[in-house]
């Protein structure tokens, strides 16, 4: 991929992710919040920052560096990227701690509702010359007692062979590698797609500057995203990774779990793998 493509992409993804979040999820700040809860959480957050400042004898130079960085992350539209990479995985851990069904993991900033519907055996929308190894991904959606969930909705989205997401990077058809699959009478699905490439957080924005300043890396391992829902069940948001793939052991977003690693096998035209999803009953 050329340097110019990367640059254009980085600028676009943050802004699109912010717009997407504001459209789908944002509540008015503080609206409906329990003030006791706000008091507890914000007081403890601020106190934790005070403790760090004392413990590390933070200087005015460092305080001002933090101030400019916080200003720039908003200007770059990179709050969704920052929060979903460094914070979301702990929220996900806490919220799903008592689940008995399949493991979930972070949603990330690139989910878009309303992807085109495919049959239970279908192919994700892709370009005629879509690059990457073909992958046949199949399995079954059940409840925790093993009952098949016919008509469950499996929403799937992923990066392409350049690690880029449609609707967030420029120049990719709107619903490329995004689809809504409805399971058959036995809760089964079989989706043809391509194996995504590892994803790199845009390096030319505020998150990239933080990563460079701290000497970290910007990579997530290649992954497929899913949201699975069925009436009477808790929706499951998860991702699946590829065994032995780059950065499987050092995901910048810390969102890999051993239960979420696929081991696809060659099937002649590409690879195939089976994975079953188990949904908890609605609480």
84 binds ligand DHB (CB under 6 A): yes
CB of 22 to ligand DHB, least distance (A): 16
C-alpha–C-alpha distance, residues 237 and 107, integer Å: 6
Give start and end residues of each alpha helix (H) in the chain: 3-24, 35-55, 60-75, 79-86, 88-95, 206-214
Which region among 103-111, 123-131, 229-237, 271-279 touches ligand DHB (by CB under 6 A)? 103-111
DSSP H/E element including 155: strand 153-158
**If you ran DSSP here, which 8-state letter would residue 166 be given?**
B
Site string for ligand DHB, 108-147 (x = CB under 6 A): xxx-------------------------------------
Q: Does 81 bind ligand DHB (CB under 6 A)?
A: yes
Asked if 169 interacts with ligand DHB (CB under 6 A), we say no
Q: How many CB atoms lie within 10 A of CB 40?
A: 11
Question: With respect to ligand DHB, which residue has the nearer C-beta, 84 or 140?
Answer: 84
- Encoded tokens for 20: 């997407």
CB of 106 to ligand DHB, least distance (A): 6
List the x/- string, 78-117, binding to Fe ion by CB under 5 A. Answer: ------------------------------x---------
Verify binding: residue 211, ligand DHB, rule CB under 6 A.
no
CA-nearest of 243, 240, 246, 188 to 217 is 246
Q: What is the DSSP-derived secondary structure letter of residue 113?
A: S
Query: What does each C-alpha distance from 73 to 11, 80, 84, 217 come to in angstroms?
Result: 12, 10, 13, 18
Q: Which residues bind ligand DHB (CB under 6 A)?
A: 81, 84-85, 106, 108-110, 199, 201, 220, 253
């Amino acid at each position: 991929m050329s340097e110019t493509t990367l640059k254009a992409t980085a600028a676009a993804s943050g802004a699109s992710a912010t717009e997407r979040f504001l459209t789908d999820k944002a509540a008015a700040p503080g609206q409906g919040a329990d003030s006791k809860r706000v008091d507890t959480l914000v007081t403890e957050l601020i106190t934790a920052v005070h403790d760090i400042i004392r413990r590390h004898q933070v200087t005015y130079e460092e305080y001002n560096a933090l101030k400019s960085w916080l200003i720039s992350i908003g200007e770059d539209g990179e709050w969704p990227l920052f929060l979903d990479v460094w914070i979301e995985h702990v929220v996900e851990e806490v919220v799903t701690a008592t689940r008995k069904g399949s493991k979930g993991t972070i949603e990330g900033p690139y989910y878009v509702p309303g992807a085109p519907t495919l049959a239970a055996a279908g192919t994700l929308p892709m370009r005629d010359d879509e690059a990457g190894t073909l992958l046949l991904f199949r399995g079954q959606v059940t409840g925790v007692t093993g009952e098949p969930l016919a008509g469950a909705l499996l929403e799937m989205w992923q990066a392409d062979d350049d690690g880029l997401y449609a609707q967030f990077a420029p120049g990719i058809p709107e619903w490329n590698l995004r689809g809504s699959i409805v399971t058959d009478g036995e809760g089964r699905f079989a989706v043809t797609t391509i194996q995504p490439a590892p994803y790199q957080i845009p390096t030319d924005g505020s998150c990239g500057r933080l990563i460079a300043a701290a000497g970290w890396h910007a990579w997530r391992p290649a992954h497929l995203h899913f949201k699975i829902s069925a009436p009477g069940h808790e929706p499951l948001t998860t991702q699946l990774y590829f065994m032995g793939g780059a950065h499987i052991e050092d995901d910048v977003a810390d969102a890999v779990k051993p239960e979420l690693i696929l081991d696809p096998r060659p099937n002649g035209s590409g690879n195939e793998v089976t994975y079953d999803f188990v949904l908890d009953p609605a609480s």
